[in-house]
Amino acid sequence: MGMIGNQLAAGTALTIANDSFNGNGSTTAFTLSQTVSATTDIEVLVDNVQQSPYDSSYSVSGTTLTFSAAPAAGTNNIYVIYNASKHISTNQVVPDDGSVTHAKLHTDMDLSTKNVNPITMSTGTNKMQMAIQSAVSNRFAIRSTHTADYDNNPFIVYQPSGAGHQNDALVINTGGQITKAQQPAFHAGLNSASGSNGAYVSGYVLHADTGNHFNASTGIFTAPVAGKYFFTAFFMTNNSASTIDFSLHVNDTDYHYMVPYQASGSLPNYNHAGGSCIVALSANDTVRIRNNNTALYGSSGNGRHSGFSGFLIG
């Protein structure tokens, strides 16, 4: 039979404590091996005839059994059974197949003050566990003891603590889509000319910002947590500059150069530069775009075609 929990051992028969005495025709008091408090705590047989506990044929006091009349002589002809000691010698009993129904299962268990051991599947290098991570609040982990890369703790979920953010750390909906409502992500554009040679781009118009980690006024994104982040940027100008170039800076240090381009023709040049990269950031690292060109960009309003985006990969 399938079971939940540890495999139980088979039950055993009842074990019953008892005493036997030899009658001699004159002795009325006998010493019991256990203390009893009432005549109904024991069953008494004399010469295979059970004595009534209600007609004063015998009385008990502690470990003393006293008969109202001395039992006849005989070997082990007085037999005492202790009712209170009738018990099963093991507390592990396997119920019959189909004998445990849903109504017999207690489903409303309060484990708020209990230490619940991890649910462990299999053994050795194939062992998997589901557990509340010890000493870390609001953390649930599915983990493995296998020694291969990436499977020590392959799946961990932190439960957000705020009342407005419950149950949305990671959601797999009925359509199979995975949503992460707290995943840092932003996109900002430019609706007017902004920036100059050697200056950081600022004055963005914010279109999306999960977690409020991008400052549109200063153009600075601040990493809320350590991890790998993806950034992409695209900038355009229609001025007469021969080239246009920008770079992504991490903590005000040049990290990635945006590819320049120069348009040709008799009409005003629509020069543009863009690029993307993955950056390993620590918590509170900053990222922003620096203008490295000698000319303004977006001087005729085409800055609205420029933008800067980023999000946490993991």
Write out pLDDT tens, residues 133-155: 555 555 666 665 554 434 455 55
Please tell me whether residue 139 adopts helix, strand or coil conformation.
strand
Give the residue-averaged pLDDT of 265-284: 78
Structure tokens at 237: 């100008």
Amino acid at 44: V
Give the CA count within 13 Å in the CB-facing half-sphere of 84: 9
Give tens-digit pLDDT for 295-309: 544 444 444 578 899
174 — pLDDT class (breaks 50, 70, 90): confident
What per-residue confidence (pLDDT) applies to 300?
45
What per-residue confidence (pLDDT) applies to 185?
95
65 — pLDDT class (breaks 50, 70, 90): very high
Contacts 24+ apart (CB under 8 A), 174-177: none
97 — pLDDT class (breaks 50, 70, 90): confident
Give tens-digit pLDDT for 246-258: 889 999 999 987 7
User: Is a pLDDT exceeding 80 seen at residue 11?
Assistant: no
Domains of the chain, start order: 14-88 (no CATH), 119-177 (no CATH), 185-312 (2.60.120.40)
Give the residue-averaged pLDDT of 219-226: 95
From the list 82, 84, 80, 71, the residue with the least C-alpha distance to 20 is 80
Distance, in Å, from the CA atom of 279 to the CA atom of 63, rounded to the nearest integer, reads 83
Distance, in Å, from the CA atom of 236 to the CA atom of 309, rounded to the nearest integer, reads 15
| Type and span of the H or E element at 178 | strand 178-179
From the list 295, 308, 307, the residue with the least C-alpha distance to 237 is 295
What per-residue confidence (pLDDT) applies to 43?
94
Give tens-digit pLDDT for 31-50: 999 888 899 999 999 999 99
Amino acid at 155: F
The answer to whether the beta carbons of residues 255 and 248 sit under 8 Å apart is yes
Which residues 6+ apart lie within 8 Å of 166 measured at CB? 159, 160
The answer to whether the beta carbons of residues 165 and 181 sit under 8 Å apart is yes
What per-residue confidence (pLDDT) applies to 203?
84
Query: How many CB atoms neighbour CB 39 within 10 A?
Result: 19
User: Is a pLDDT exceeding 60 seen at residue 1?
Assistant: no
